[in-house]
Amino acid sequence: MADEARLIDLDGLQGLIDALGARGYTVVGPTVCDGAIVSAPVHDVDDLPHGWGDEQDAAHYRLRRRDDDAVFGFAAGAQSAKPVVFPAHELIWRGRRTGTEFTVNERDADGPTAGPPPPYALLGVKSCDLHALAIHDTVLLGRGYTDTRYAERRAGSFVVAVTCTDPGGTCFCASMGTGPHPDTGFDLALTELLDGGPHRFLVEVGTPRGAEVLAGVVAPPAAASDVAAADAVVAQATGRMGRTLDTDGLKDVLYASAESPRWDDVASRCLACTNCTLVCPTCFCTSVEDVADLTGDVAERRRVWDSCFNEDFSYIHGGSIRTETRSRYRQWITHKLAAWVDQFGTSGCVGCGRCITWCPAAIDITAEAAALRWTPQPAAAGS
């Protein structure tokens, strides 16, 4: 924990929300909606999920009442910060045809899918999702070409991270080295303390911008005992992961498993429904949709989330490359846990467990990776 940690109470948390709002941010944080923890605009500390926890297992998600009044006492919500900074639908351009010519206006208007306006303050980002944001930065900003809309949203975003104090049954961030305590990539980081003392939050400052915002909030320096209490919360959470994933040599395991019989096994269960890719905080694949009005004179192109589980994802003239579910599951997990390392220098998995929780067939990425590790390979297949 940082030496200059500060302390706020629930009034201080309200002060933080107000301070962010006063600086023009749309504060997006966890709320209870449709029986799940869902990100939504937050104006009042009472909008947060007071006293709500969750129960997560493969193909299982339930909210539960906690026996305390924690506001961040749940594991990964239904979605990460991905839909905020990388929306599922986004206008790329709109154009008008006149005779044989056409003019293109870059994003000349917000489409019907536009959400609350940026800039955003992301409140309550768990460490797994913080790492996912950093991974998206690498994928979408850190290479030859840049996603210009993501760049704008991300540059303007303020991040209030939070230590995950109550990991769920599908969590394995400790295996991935991505949590539960936020280590970098935030403006401010909170650790909620409910140790019998007053309900309070240890605040770590990550950036000058974070310090500037915190300056307007009543936040006295934390006592050594508060810092120790936060350390204890982190240690306890680290030991309560519902899942583990052995990452040792995992890239080589996946690459060597290209012809594994395990793909047929998992394909017999996988519905290719794309739920895993939709809830994954790092999945970034998109498609484009062209829409024209009835006259054909006004057209627009939208970027929409896509999934490698869709058959037409790999379509080229003559047919799709990956016609079978086994090939698509292989693509997904091999990309996530192996090819990602070659492409971007880190695993594509942050251990948030969402793909396990939200898979209707209870397919578990940690179990599949373990099975691939221990499934005998067929004799080297020739071409």
**Residue 382 interacts with another protein (CB under 8 A)?**
yes
- Report DSSP letters for 47-63, one per residue: GS-TTEEEEEETTEEEE
Binding positions for another protein, 358-377, rule CB under 8 A: none
Cα 7 from chain centre: 27
At 242, list the tokens.
């519902």
Residues forming beta bridges with residue 205, ordered by sequence position:
188
Measured from the CB atom, the residue of 90 and 364 that comes closer to another protein is 90
267 near another protein (CB under 8 A): no
Of these, 2, 64, 93, 235, which contacts another protein (CB under 8 A)?
A: 93
Among 285, 367, 370, 371, binds another protein (CB under 8 A): 285
381 binds another protein (CB under 8 A): yes
Q: Per-residue x/- mask for another protein, residues 210 to 249, rule CB under 8 A?
A: ----------------------------------------
Closest by CA position to 358, among listed 278, 261, 252, 303? 278
CA distance 275 to 332: 12
Q: Can you tell me the distance from the alpha carbon of 106 to that of 148, in angstroms, rounded to the nearest whole number?
A: 11
Kindly state the DSSP code that residue 324 receives in the 8-state scheme.
S
Please state the closest distance from residue 327 (CB atom) to another protein, in A. 4
Say if residue 180 is preceded by a cis peptide, omega within 30 of 0.
yes
Nearest Cα to Cα of residue 125 among 55, 42, 30: 30
Mask 97-136, x = binds another protein (CB under 8 A)? x--xxxxxxxxxx---------------------------
Q: Write out the two tokens for 87.
A: 């929306």
Helices (H), the chain: 10-22, 82-85, 127-141, 148-155, 173-176, 208-214, 224-238, 250-256, 262-267, 275-279, 325-334, 340-344, 354-357, 365-374
Q: Smallest gap, in angstroms, from Cβ of residue 158 to another protein?
A: 20
CB-CB contact of 377 with 257 (8 Å): yes
- Binder among 22, 221, 287, 362 for another protein (CB under 8 A): 287
Report the nearest approach of another protein to the CB of residue 209 (Å): 21
Residues 295-334 binding another protein (CB under 8 A) are: 296, 299, 301, 303, 306, 308, 313-317, 321-324, 327, 330-331, 334
Contact residues for 133 (Cβ-Cβ < 8 A; gap 6+): 81, 85, 125, 154, 159, 185, 281
Q: How far is the CB of 255 from another protein (least distance, A)?
A: 8
| Residue closer to another protein, measured from CB, 183 or 311 | 311
Sign of CA dihedral 275, 276, 279, 282: negative
Question: How do 158-162 and 188-193 pair as beta strands?
Answer: parallel
Residue 41 in the binding site for another protein (CB under 8 A)? no
The residue among 37 and 338 lying less far from another protein, judged by its C-beta, is 338
Q: How far is the CB of 367 from another protein (least distance, A)?
A: 23
Which residues are CB-neighbours of 239 under 8 A, at least 6 positions away? none
Q: What does the alpha-carbon distance between residue 66 and residue 236 come to, in Å, rounded to a whole number? A: 17
- Smallest distance from another protein to CB 357, Å: 23
- Judged by CB, which is closer to another protein: 144, or 208? 144
With CB under 8 A as the contact rule, which of the stretches 3-11, 34-42, 74-82, 252-260 interacts with another protein?
252-260
Q: How far is the CB of 230 from another protein (least distance, A)?
A: 38
Q: Minimal CA–CA distance to 263: which of 344, 141, 381? A: 381
Binding to another protein (CB under 8 A) within 130-169 occurs at 139-140, 143-148, 151-152
For the CB of residue 113, give the shortest distance to another protein in the complex, in Å: 17
Count interface residues toward another protein (CB under 8 A).
Answer: 61
Residue 22 binds another protein (CB under 8 A): no
Q: Which is nearer to another protein, 44 or 108 (CB)?
A: 108
- Site residues (CB under 8 A) for another protein? 92-93, 95, 97, 100-109, 139-140, 143-148, 151-152, 255, 258-259, 284-288, 290, 292, 296, 299, 301, 303, 306, 308, 313-317, 321-324, 327, 330-331, 334-335, 338-339, 342-343, 381-383
